[in-house]
Structure 1
């Protein structure tokens, strides 16, 4: 049995619109962090909507204060899958790693993937983060399968998966979970695009850091943006190349039992 979702810090029923799709989300009331949100409330193709309290997607929780930590624990959070690199974790450990009530797992999702800089140099006139998402789904399949398996096998309570900004690695996992559960492509795109509003504060911090390092402003914007068309193109590619989210999961080695568990956990 899943516990109730974290209390929202937006009015009940606040909605996000992207094109003709309306999705409703509850944003956890967690001071000091950005871009944490529940995967519940997205419309399912067969009717109904995804369940609240199953999965949270988010950033690295680095600014989370003691009240926020308690709010997460009280809400029923019991599993964390950290998708960041070893260097990122060493620089800013998840504040709940090692907590007695949390099953914490670290899966460096993009290990072995070419750097953003290398990809941008290879595509000087057409780079956007969709190219990176597609490269990751081609070349990081064992790590993706492991992360999805851990989420499928998570015990009672809410499971949080996160990277640094809660946009890219997190966005790939979220798109796969939602698509597999039966959420339509336009709603998946809308969920991805919500980072532009929910994560605006964190994205601005990352933008300033990138510019301070001398990153070209246009490249910084391409890397930090969460444009709907980026995820839309990725989903079209996923359908054409692998037959969609469910077929992709099966192809990369997620067991049928774990696929069933993921769908049941999110779609009921």
Structure 2
């Protein structure tokens, strides 16, 4: 028996010793500093290839030691791959640069003192009476892939040219939110119809008028900012202005820290505004991406949307703006970093638990936690559940408001109906409902556009009583797109 235990202990010890130690597969690199740039960035004399050739990859978190002090910095390709004020080890075409994005690494960390001459020339005096060659630097792996998702998100590039998008609606990021018990045409989301910084305001304003929007949550701007947009040369959002003057716009001016007390209190005021005023409703920030994404997710969950529907709607914005492909590494990075994190914030559930969480109950609890009463929640739910199919333009909106704003200069004469990679139409046929399906996802598969779920619903009214309740194995008729 003792002999057996001894053998087992020996084998266990051998296996433990054989396991790789964190970072052991990534040899450390050492060297010094060849230059301190004007803005305090340290240019290292360690070639980037020494890292990439040893298996290091962009998105790894590295331990960079300078004069015995260790710093954590993600390995990236641009300063802007990290947020303002954060550290980055940048591969600048083969040269490694240790920097603070929009900051001064050398001064902030006492590596050197900046000397600025009258002519603007900058020189540096290394601390401790030393020379540049005396600064010792080493680099080692801290966490493989620890910053990968954030790095991929920072690589996203979008344009603000209308001609780069398949339709006005996609360009404006304007769409209805049709999930759960939300009424028909009750809730919409979009980019800003009033702030034209990204060139979409006139388009979003036209869609707001077309859909008879009555009540707006402006998550991004203050009252003063909105009035400033009205006064700008070239302002071209007359319908939005008419709603504002009629008291139909709530200016919240929220930040992007969804856990901050002022975000929660401001959001509570906005939800009370929706509870006290009828729709159709429009929720927007500037791009209609982050703050609008949070509020859209919250209201969708509150009204009974499925987890997949909420995620799909959020990611539609990134497909619209960045043409992300579903299932790609960037798509998954955005999903996990953004909407999954948002749903965890709303529900308190871990990412792996979200698909099994009662999202409606969790959203209600969140609303009550930020200050809404039971009566306010009930009024909000009742308003969101109404159908606004026959909604008319509010009487206070001037009749002469143009149906369509003057197009921005870059708007092309003709626009393709759908993106080139999506089918323009799908042949009539049938579809058998599979696990995880909803009308939204079926419409995406059939027509390349989840917004066409209503076509399927209308064609199958005899079989579907509630569009949020379809059965696995159910055979649905797919009408021509």
Instruction: Report the TM-score range of the alignment, normalised by the length of the smaller protein.
Output: 0.5 to 0.7
Instruction: Give 1:228 deviation, angstroms.
Output: 1.7
Q: Considering fraction of residues, name the structure with more helix.
A: 1
1:34 pairs with one of 172, 175, 190: 172
In the other structure, the counterpart of 2:426 is none
Contact preservation (8 Å) 2:174, 2:191: yes
Cα distance in structure 2, aligned partners of 1:191 and 1:71: 18
Instruction: Give 1:237 deviation, angstroms.
Output: 3.7
Query: What runs of 5+ residues in structure 2 fail to find an aligned partner?
Result: 1-166, 325-329, 350-358, 387-481
Cα distance in structure 1, aligned partners of 2:216 and 2:276: 12
In the other structure, the counterpart of 2:348 is 240
Cα distance in structure 2, aligned partners of 1:91 and 1:31: 26
Instruction: Give 1:81 deviation, angstroms.
Output: 1.6
Local SS of the residue matching 1:227: helix
Instruction: Give 1:64 deviation, angstroms.
Output: 4.1
Contact preservation (8 Å) 2:192, 2:204: no
In the other structure, the counterpart of 2:273 is 150
Cα distance in structure 2, aligned partners of 1:39 and 1:31: 14
In the other structure, the counterpart of 2:209 is 73
What's the Cα RMSD here? Answer: 3.5
TM-score in terms of structure 2 length = 0.35
Instruction: Give 1:254 deviation, angstroms.
Output: 1.4
In the other structure, the counterpart of 1:213 is none
- Deviation sequence 1:121-144 (CA, Å, 0-9, x none): xxxxxxxxxxx43x24x5521101
Instruction: Give 1:68 deviation, angstroms.
Output: 6.5
1:231 pairs with one of 327, 331, 339: 339
Say whether residues 1:170 and 2:292 are aligned partners: yes
2:252 pairs with one of 80, 95, 107: 107
Q: Which has the higher contact order (CA 8 A, sep 6+)?
A: 1
Query: What runs of 5+ residues in structure 1 fail to find an aligned partner?
Result: 1-28, 114-131, 204-221
- Deviation sequence 1:35-58 (CA, Å, 0-9, x none): 111111x2x3xxxx5323111111
TM-score in terms of structure 1 length = 0.59
Matched length: 190
Contact preservation (8 Å) 1:31, 1:64: no
Instruction: Give 1:186 deviation, angstroms.
Output: 2.5
